[in-house]
Amino acid sequence: MRRSKAFIPTTKEAPSDATLPSHIFLSRAGFITQVAAGLYNYLPLAKRVIKKIENIINEEMTKVGAQEVELSFVTPAELWQESGRIEKFGKELLRFHDRKNNLFVLGPTHEEMMVDVVRNRVTSYKNLPLNLYQIKTKFRDEARPRFGLMRGREFIMQDAYSFHATTEDLDREFDAMEAAYKKILTRMGLDFRVVEADSGAIGGNGSKELMVLAESGEDTIAVCSKCEYGANIEAASRSKRSNIPEAPEASFNKFKTPDVKTIDELAEFFKIDPYYTVKCVAKKVVYEDASEIVLFFVRGCDNLQEVKALNATEALDVVDVTEEELKETGLVPGFIGPLDQDKAKHVIDSDLKNATNLICGANEADYHFIGVDLSVLSDVAYFADIAEVNEGDICPHCEKGTLSFTKGIEVGHIFKLGTTYSKALKAEFLDENGKAQLFIMGTYGMGVSRLVAAVIEQHHDEYGCIWTKATAPYMVNIMISNIKDEAQVQAGEELYRQLQDANVEVILDDRKERFGFKMKDAELIGFPYTIVIGKELQNGHVQIFDRATKEKTDIKSEDIFDKIMELI
C-alpha cells in the first residue's frame, strides 16, 4: 500500500472524550471513528488488525476441532423467552419489531441460537462431541459504554459452544479450549493470566477468565507470587492464615463499650487485633418477588465481597441498606452481632466457623460480647465464603506464595454450562441405551475488538501504538525521507516491490512531507519496523527503526531486504 493513497486519517489531537491510551491512540492514528455511544467504525488499519486476530483464532480453533459457523445476528425473541433470558438480560437486549410485528432481538451472545441449531439435528451420542463457533458482531445495549473499543455496545466476539454426552468429555473440551485460548493470546504477544472466575447466577462448576494484564483493566485479579494461581477478586480464595496474631484470652462476658461502633474503635478500645473482632455488613438482598435484610459477618480485618455474598444468598441483587431500615427491623447499627439475635437472616464467613476469642456486637446499644466462641453456631448458622481476599494472604493453591492484586482486561471467558440451556430449550440426544439425555454444554468467548484495544493498553508509549508482530496492520513501513531525491525514491520503490513480492505486509510512505512529520506519523500508528531511506543512502546505508525499542540501526542498502526477512 502506498501511504499517499491509504485512508489513514491521523490527527495531532485526540478526541476530548478519550481517556484510555488505546482509545486515544486508535482514534488519533486513524484506526477507528466514533459513531455514537459505544459504536465505532473500523477504518482500514483496524480492519487489518481485526483480520489478523481472527486468523489466529481460526487457526487455533481448527486445531482443536471446532467448526466455524455464522448464525443470524437478528434473533427471534421467542428463543429468549424460551430460555427465560429475555427478562434476565433486560434492557441490554435491543428489541424491535419487523413489518409483521414479530419481536426480534439483536444477539448479545448466542447460546439459545446455537442450541436451536443443534437440537433435533444432532440426535445421537455417536455425533458427540461437537464444538461450533463463530466470529461475529454482538450487540449489548449497555447502560454505560465507555473506553472506546474496550466496552462498546456493538463489538466483535468469537463465541464457541460445545456439546457433550458426559461431564468428563466437557472437562476435556474445557481444558482444550483453555489451552487454545492461551495459545491465541501467546501468539498475539500478550502478557496474560488465566484466572478463576465467579460462575455467577448461571451456575455451573467451572469458569475461567483470560485477563490481559494492564493498568487500565477494569477487573482486579489476585495472583500468587509463587505459583500460577490467579483469580478474579470476585472469586479469589485464600489458605488459612499462618501468622495469626496473639489471641486475647477472655471468658465470655458482656462488656460496656460506649459509643464504640467501628472496627477501628473496637480494636483500639480493647487493644486487640481486628482479626478477633466480628464485622457486620448489613445488606438488602433482592429476590425475584421479595427482598429482605441479610447480615453478613466477616472478621474485622476482612471486607465483604459482594459477588460472593450474592452467590451465598442465591439472590438477584445485593444492595445497600440504610440505617433507618436497620433500625426499623430492631437492629442496633454499630452493635450488631451473630449471637442472640433473630431479627434478620445471617451469613457468616467460613473463616469464622469455630472461631474463638472473638469480640462482637451484643445487639444492644453500647455493649459488645467478649470471649465469644462461635463453635456454638457451627451447626445452626449458615457459613459461606463471603470475605474478600487481601493482598498478602496465602495462596490457596500452593499454600506458599502470597497474593497480590493486579489489574486485568477480561478478553476471554470459558464456562462449563452443564445442562442449563439444553434443559431450558429441551435439547436432547439418545445415549447408548436409547435413553434421552440433555446435552452437556460448554461456552467460550473471546472479545476480538476488545483485544485490539487490549494490545494497545499493554503496548504503547507516549508517542503512540506499538503493535506486536502478530497484530500489526503492516509489518514494515518504508519511509522515503525526501521525496524529491530521485535516488531515495528509486531505492524505496525497489525495496517496496521486493517486499511485496515476498508477501511482506508493507506500506510505502511516499508522501510529500518532511522527515519529522512522517516519523511522528509512523510512531503514532506503531508499525513494528520503519525503514528510513534518507541521507545515509549516499553512503550506501538505510536505517531500520524498531518501534518497540526506538533504536535506529544502519544497514547497507544491499543487505536491507535480507535483514528485514530475518527480523519479521
Whose Cβ is closer to RNA: residue 237's or residue 443's? 443
Which cell numbers in the block locate residue 281? 455488613
Residue 174, amino acid: F
Q: What are the start-end ranges of the H helices in 141-254?
A: 167-187
| Nearest approach, Cβ of residue 141 and RNA (Å) | 10
Within 10 angstroms of residue 262's Cβ, the number of other Cβ atoms is: 12
Whose Cβ is closer to RNA: residue 277's or residue 422's? 422
| Nearest approach, Cβ of residue 417 and RNA (Å) | 9
384 burial class (0-12, 13-18, 19+ CB within 10 angstroms)?
middle
CA-CA-CA-CA torsion sign (221, 224, 227, 233) = negative
Task: Kindly give, in sequence order, each residue whose CB lies less than 8 Å from that of residue 501, ignoring residues fewer than 6 positions away.
Answer: none
- Looking only at the bridges linking them, the beta strands covering 253-256 and 206-213 are unpaired
Whose Cβ is closer to RNA: residue 64's or residue 202's? 202
| Nearest approach, Cβ of residue 408 and RNA (Å) | 13
| Nearest approach, Cβ of residue 410 and RNA (Å) | 9
Q: Is 306 helix (H, G, I), strand (E, B) or coil?
A: helix
Q: How far apart are CA 306 and CA 233, in angstroms?
A: 10
CA distances from residue 242 to 223, 341, 395, 402, 554 in whole angstroms, order as listed: 19, 32, 11, 11, 58
- Contact set with RNA (CB under 7 A): 10-17, 19, 28, 34, 36-38, 88-89, 92, 108-109, 111, 140, 142-147, 151, 159, 200-202, 218, 306, 317-318, 413, 415, 443, 445, 463, 481-485, 512-517, 519-521, 523-524, 532, 534-537, 543, 545, 552
Whose Cβ is closer to RNA: residue 129's or residue 152's? 152
Q: How far apart are CA 480 and CA 509, in angstroms?
A: 6
Q: How far apart are CA 457 and CA 407, in angstroms?
A: 12
CB 360 within 8 A of CB 352: no
Q: How far apart are CA 320 and CA 286, in angstroms?
A: 11
Q: What are the start-end ranges of the H helices in 29-166?
A: 44-63, 77-83, 85-89, 111-118
CA distances from residue 164 to 28, 208, 259, 443 in whole angstroms, order as listed: 47, 19, 60, 12
| Nearest approach, Cβ of residue 552 and RNA (Å) | 6
Whose Cβ is closer to RNA: residue 17's or residue 98's? 17
| Nearest approach, Cβ of residue 178 and RNA (Å) | 15
Whose Cβ is closer to RNA: residue 181's or residue 369's? 181
Q: How far apart are CA 457 and CA 410, in angstroms?
A: 12
CA distances from residue 352 to 147, 266, 384, 510 in whole angstroms, order as listed: 40, 18, 10, 70
Q: Please state the separation of Cα 119 from the chain's center in Å.
A: 30
Whose Cβ is closer to RNA: residue 109's or residue 239's? 109
Instruction: Name the DSSP class of 14.
Output: -
| Nearest approach, Cβ of residue 550 and RNA (Å) | 7
Whose Cβ is closer to RNA: residue 349's or residue 513's? 513
- Identify whether 9 is preceded by a cis peptide bond (ω within 30 of 0): no
Of 59, 87, 80, which Cα lies nearest the Cα of 158?
59
| Nearest approach, Cβ of residue 35 and RNA (Å) | 8
| Nearest approach, Cβ of residue 68 and RNA (Å) | 17
Whose Cβ is closer to RNA: residue 277's or residue 313's? 313
Task: Kindly give, in sequence order, each residue whose CB lies less than 8 Å from that of residue 106, ignoring residues fewer than 6 positions away.
Answer: 73, 74, 75, 93, 94, 96, 139
Task: Kindly give, in sequence order, each residue whose CB lies less than 8 Å from that of residue 309, ignoring residues fewer than 6 positions away.
Answer: 281, 283, 294, 296, 318, 347, 386
Q: How far apart are CA 498 and CA 509, in angstroms?
A: 15
Whose Cβ is closer to RNA: residue 435's or residue 514's? 514
| Nearest approach, Cβ of residue 166 and RNA (Å) | 22
| Nearest approach, Cβ of residue 304 and RNA (Å) | 13
End-to-end CA distance of the chain: 18
| Nearest approach, Cβ of residue 106 and RNA (Å) | 14
Of 258, 347, 340, 241, which Cα lies nearest the Cα of 295?
347
Whose Cβ is closer to RNA: residue 216's or residue 237's? 216
Of 456, 462, 470, 446, which Cα lies nearest the Cα of 23?
456
Whose Cβ is closer to RNA: residue 20's or residue 128's? 20
| Nearest approach, Cβ of residue 128 and RNA (Å) | 22
Whose Cβ is closer to RNA: residue 201's or residue 567's? 201
| Nearest approach, Cβ of residue 258 and RNA (Å) | 33
418 - beta bridge partners?
Answer: 441
| Nearest approach, Cβ of residue 515 and RNA (Å) | 3
CB 527 within 8 A of CB 517: no
Whose Cβ is closer to RNA: residue 142's or residue 373's? 142
Whose Cβ is closer to RNA: residue 21's or residue 396's? 21
